[in-house]
């Protein structure tokens, strides 16, 4: 039996108890009133009968008292009631309840309530305790004569034991009790049947919903009726189908994701907010030597490389983290790691990192750098020889016009090649970290002034005005040879791409903890679409023109590398036909060392 069934039965039983209980109470009260009334009416009749047998004057005649006593005793014997005759003064003249000679000793009855009522209204009745017979009695007293207008002669009083009423009520109680027991049993039985019928669908519904909740999504309700039950069944079945479809879709999605992740050449690791691994594809496991169970464990528990854990942690403060990490699991590897939080929007659920194996890429890079350096180095010696001999021959061929023209061409090209090789060597040294910079505190104003001073004759020759504006600044951290090279490249470009009559301004100022040096010309300018690319190697806006001007396309790329290596940056603003402004910045020296000794 279910708890719900028990509840229904309990409620019904309680209802029956209340109804039967109330009914019994009301019935008992009604019955008591009716029984009392019946008894009282009977007693009244008996009193009247007796009053008829008593001569009205007998109440006064003292001599007839024994006769009266016998009369009441005879009446009592016949009816079982107690009869009392009382005179107009309240004195008892006969009483079947006491012996004849004791009547005279009875107290005056004028104060008895039923007697008082009878004297006044012709009739009185009470249920009360009798001091004379010592028990509860029902009294009925009538006046003789009955009409209160006529002079009172006496009172006839009849009494019976009040337990007659109780006996009648007791009988009724037994009947009621039987009714209660039978009703109660029937209520229990009926409520059980009712609950079985009304609960069956609910129990079935509970079982189906429970199975669905436990993941057995194939279970369905088979109610087909057109009423509410049918509607519930249709809704639940539809919901079950939708849950199964969603679960199937989620499984398919998971399988697709797993297929993609396991066929990726990149390693992928995702951790939740608490730092526990939720996903690591086969490639990541192979790259980082993760063996055995990893799901739910933290990174330091399964990965031996603390830099990776550190990078994951940095995502919280840096957002997107890109690191190149050297790991030596089975073999030495260089991994490029991109880590960021997910999802992209909303509260963060965790961090995901993608690992690219860039070992091969870096190796090829190193080979290329070595090759450029070696090739440049090897080319330099024969080229110097060619240049030297061509120049010597040029001097010797003075007068022979054709020959000296040809030799001139050889010399110019050899010079171009030589400067190309110089630039290439410089770049490859910077890239490979071979040319170590000596970064010290330098006085930027003095340095700029010296370099610009060296260039003054060249600008004068080209007819370009050179102006210098030096603000007083703090010392900056730089390698003075690198600054020389940067400024030389920028000044050469300014001279190269300006027309005679234009001007070049070099200025120096301190901004936001950096020393900014700008070289501004009023030359040909650079088209905006090329601005982003001019710092790339060999990139030239107008290759033919640049080449004719003896440029290599490497100058700005050397500038960028050197500035970056010193912890600074470079930018350009330009407009075609109006000129260009190159600005590079270097960090201010905060150690407070006096740079005057430099
Ligand atoms: P190059 O040795 O050819 O000057 P750079 O790397 O120094 O090589 O410059 C790349 C290209 O940028 C140049 O070919 C030129 O087109 C453009 N450029 C550089 N500086 C200026 C400038 N001050 N005015 C106009 N164009 C410039």
- pLDDT (tens digit per residue) in 251-286: 999 999 999 999 999 999 999 999 999 999 999 999
**pTM of the full structure:** 0.49
Q: Is 521 in the pocket of ligand 1 (CB under 6 A)?
A: yes
Q: How far is the CA of 550 from the centre of ligand 1 (A)?
A: 11
User: Of the residues 432, 448, 476, which one is the last residue of a structural domain?
Assistant: 432
Q: Establish how many alpha carbons lie within 13 A of residue 289's alpha carbon, considering only the half-sphere containing its beta carbon.
A: 11
Same domain membership, residue 534 and residue 409: no
Q: Is 579 in the pocket of ligand 1 (CB under 6 A)?
A: no
Residue 350 contacts residue 342 (beta carbons within 8 Å): yes
DSSP secondary structure of 109-123: -TT-HHHHHHHHHSE
Q: How far is the CA of 534 from the centre of ligand 1 (A)?
A: 7
In a domain, 190, yes or no: no
Q: Give the model's pLDDT for residue 148.
A: 79
- By C-alpha distance, which of 356, 342, 171 is closest to 272? 342
Q: Is 524 in the pocket of ligand 1 (CB under 6 A)?
A: yes
Q: Is 94 in the pocket of ligand 1 (CB under 6 A)?
A: no
Answer yes or no: 377 catalytic: yes
User: Of the residues 411, 432, 453, which one is the last residue of a structural domain?
Assistant: 432
Domain holding 520: CATH number? Answer: 3.30.565.10
Closest CA to ligand 1's atom 21: 493
Q: Is 553 in the pocket of ligand 1 (CB under 6 A)?
A: yes
Same domain membership, residue 423 and residue 308: no
In a domain, 176, yes or no: no
User: Of the residues 239, 263, 287, which one is the last residue of a structural domain?
Assistant: 263
Q: Which of 462, 494, 534 to mutate to test the pocket of ligand 1 (most atoms within 8 A of CB)?
A: 534
Q: Give the model's pLDDT for residue 62.
A: 62
Same domain membership, residue 75 and residue 21: yes
* Beta strands in 481-597, from DSSP E residues, in sequence order: 503-511, 514-521, 569-575, 579-587
Same domain membership, residue 446 and residue 540: yes
Q: How far is the CA of 151 from the centre of ligand 1 (A)?
A: 155
Closest CA to ligand 1's atom 25: 525
When comparing pLDDT for 331 and 190, which is higher? 190
* Beta strands in 438-543, from DSSP E residues, in sequence order: 440-442, 465-470, 476-478, 503-511, 514-521
Residue 566 contacts residue 588 (beta carbons within 8 Å): no
In a domain, 375, yes or no: yes
In a domain, 593, yes or no: no
Tell which atom from ligand 1 comes closest to the C-alpha of 542. 16
In a domain, 198, yes or no: no
Q: How far is the CA of 390 from the centre of ligand 1 (A)?
A: 29
Rounded Cα distance between 48 and 43, Å, is: 9
Domain count, the chain: 5
Rounded Cα distance between 108 and 144, Å, is: 18
Domain holding 128: CATH number? Answer: 3.30.450.20
Q: Is 493 in the pocket of ligand 1 (CB under 6 A)?
A: yes
The tokens describing 27, both together, are: 């019935």
Mean pLDDT of 5-11: 80
Q: How far is the CA of 553 from the centre of ligand 1 (A)?
A: 7
Q: How far is the CA of 435 from the centre of ligand 1 (A)?
A: 24
When comparing pLDDT for 388 and 20, which is higher? 388
Peptide linkage before 421 cis (omega within 30 of 0): no
Q: Give the model's pLDDT for residue 17.
A: 81
Per-residue pLDDT band at 329 (split at 50, 70, 90): low
Q: How far is the CA of 503 from the centre of ligand 1 (A)?
A: 17
Q: How far is CA 310 from CA 264, 271, 341, 344, in A?
A: 24, 13, 14, 21
When comparing pLDDT for 466 and 17, which is higher? 466
% the chain with pLDDT above 90: 36
Same domain membership, residue 279 and residue 308: yes
- Where b means 16+ CB within 10 Å and e means fewer, 410-420 reads bbeebeebbeb
Same domain membership, residue 342 and residue 408: no
Q: Is the dihedral of CA 551, 553, 556, 560 positive or negative?
A: negative
In a domain, 126, yes or no: yes
Same domain membership, residue 86 and residue 19: yes
Q: Is 556 in the pocket of ligand 1 (CB under 6 A)?
A: yes
Per-residue pLDDT band at 557 (split at 50, 70, 90): very high
Same domain membership, residue 379 and residue 254: no
Same domain membership, residue 147 and residue 110: yes
DSSP secondary structure of 37-55: HHHHHHHHHHHHHHHHHS-
Same domain membership, residue 335 and residue 269: yes
In a domain, 174, yes or no: no
pLDDT tens readout for residues 430-482: 877 666 788 999 999 999 999 999 999 999 999 999 999 999 999 999 999 99
Same domain membership, residue 517 and residue 396: no
Facing residues of 440 across strands? 478
Q: Give the model's pLDDT for residue 330.
A: 67
Q: Is 555 in the pocket of ligand 1 (CB under 6 A)?
A: yes
Least confident of 138-142, 216-220, 347-351, 431-435: 431-435
In a domain, 82, yes or no: yes
Closest CA to ligand 1's atom 14: 540
Closest CA to ligand 1's atom 7: 555
Q: Give the model's pLDDT for residue 514.
A: 94
Domain holding 369: CATH number? Answer: 1.10.287
Residue in 45, 345, 356, 377 annotated catalytic: 377
Q: Give the model's pLDDT for residue 598.
A: 44
Parallel, antiparallel, or unpaired for β 332-342 and 135-144? unpaired
pLDDT tens readout for residues 480-519: 999 999 999 999 999 999 999 999 999 999 998 999 999 9
pLDDT tens readout for residues 360-403: 998 888 888 888 888 888 888 888 888 888 888 888 877 788 88
Q: Which of 499, 527, 540 to mutate to test the pocket of ligand 1 (most atoms within 8 A of CB)?
A: 540
Mean pLDDT of 283-294: 90
Per-residue pLDDT band at 597 (split at 50, 70, 90): very low
pLDDT tens readout for residues 44-90: 999 888 888 887 677 776 657 788 888 889 989 988 899 998 888 88
Q: In terms of residue numbers, what domain contains 30?
A: 3-169
Same domain membership, residue 28 and residue 9: yes
């Amino acid at each position: 039996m279910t708890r719900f069934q028990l509840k229904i039965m309990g409620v019904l039983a309680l209802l029956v108890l209340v109804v039967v209980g109330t009914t019994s109470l009301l019935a008992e009260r009604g019955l008591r009133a009716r029984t009392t009334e019946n008894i009282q009416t009977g007693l009244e009749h008996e009193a009247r009968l007796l009053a008829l047998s008593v001569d009205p004057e007998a109440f006064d005649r003292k001599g007839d008292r024994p006769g009266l006593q016998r009369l009441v005793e005879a009446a009592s014997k016949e009816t079982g009631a107690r009869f009392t005759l009382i005179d107009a003064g309240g004195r008892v003249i006969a009483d079947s309840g006491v012996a004849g000679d004791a009547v005279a000793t009875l107290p005056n009855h004028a104060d008895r309530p039923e007697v008082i009522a009878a004297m006044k209204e012709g009739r009185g009745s009470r249920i009360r305790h009798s001091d004379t017979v010592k028990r509860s009695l029902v009294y009925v007293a009538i006046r003789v004569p009955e009409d209160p207008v006529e002079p009172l002669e006496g009172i006839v009083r009849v009494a019976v034991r009040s337990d007659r009423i109780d006996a009648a009520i007791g009988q009724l109680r037994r009947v009621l009790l039987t009714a209660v027991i039978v009703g109660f049993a029937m209520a229990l039985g009926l409520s059980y049947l009712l609950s079985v019928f009304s609960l069956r669908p609910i129990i079935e519904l509970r079982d189906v919903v429970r199975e669905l909740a436990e993941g057995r999504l194939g279970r369905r309700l088979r109610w087909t009726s057109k009423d509410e039950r049918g509607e519930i069944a249709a809704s639940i079945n539809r919901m079950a189908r939708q849950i199964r479809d969603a679960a199937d879709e989620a499984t398919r999605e998971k399988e697709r994701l797993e297929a993609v992740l396991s066929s990726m050449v990149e390693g992928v690791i995702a951790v939740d907010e608490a730092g526990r691994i939720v996903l690591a594809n086969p490639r990541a496991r192979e790259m980082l030597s993760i063996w055995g169970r990893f799901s739910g464990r933290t990174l330091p528990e399964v990965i031996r490389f603390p830099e990776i854990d550190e990078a994951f942690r940095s995502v919280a403060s840096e957002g997107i983290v890109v690191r190149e990490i050297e790991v030596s699991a089975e073999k030495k590897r260089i991994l490029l790691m991109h880590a960021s939080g997910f999802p992209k929007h909303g509260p963060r659920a965790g961090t995901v990192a993608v690992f690219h194996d860039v070992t091969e890429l870096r190796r090829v890079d190193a080979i290329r750098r070595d090759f450029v350096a070696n090739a440049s180095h090897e080319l330099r010696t024969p080229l110097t020889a060619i240049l030297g001999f061509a120049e010597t021959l040029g001097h010797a061929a003075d007068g022979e016009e054709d020959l000296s023209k040809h030799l001139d061409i050889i010399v110019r090209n050899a010079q171009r090649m030589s400067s190309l090789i110089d630039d290439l060597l410089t770049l490859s040294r910077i890239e490979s970290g071979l040319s170590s910079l000596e970064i010290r505190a330098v006085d930027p104003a003095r340095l700029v002034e010296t370099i610009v001073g060296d260039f003054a004759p060249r600008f004068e020759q080209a007819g370009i005005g050179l102006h210098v504006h030096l603000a007083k600044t703090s010392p900056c951290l730089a390698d003075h040879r690198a600054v020389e090279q940067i400024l030389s490249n920028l000044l050469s470009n300014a001279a190269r791409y300006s027309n005679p009559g234009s001007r070049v301004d070099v200025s120096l100022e301190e901004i936001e903890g950096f020393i900014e040096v700008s070289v501004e010309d009023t030359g040909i300018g650079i088209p905006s679409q090329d601005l982003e690319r001019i710092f790339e190697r060999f990139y030239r806006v107008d290759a033919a023109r640049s080449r004719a001007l003896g440029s290599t396309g490497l100058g700005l790329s050397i500038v960028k590398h050197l500035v970056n290596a010193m912890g600074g940056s470079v930018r350009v603003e330009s407009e075609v036909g109006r000129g260009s402004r190159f600005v590079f910045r270097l960090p201010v020296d905060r150690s407070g060392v006096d740079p005057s000794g430099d």
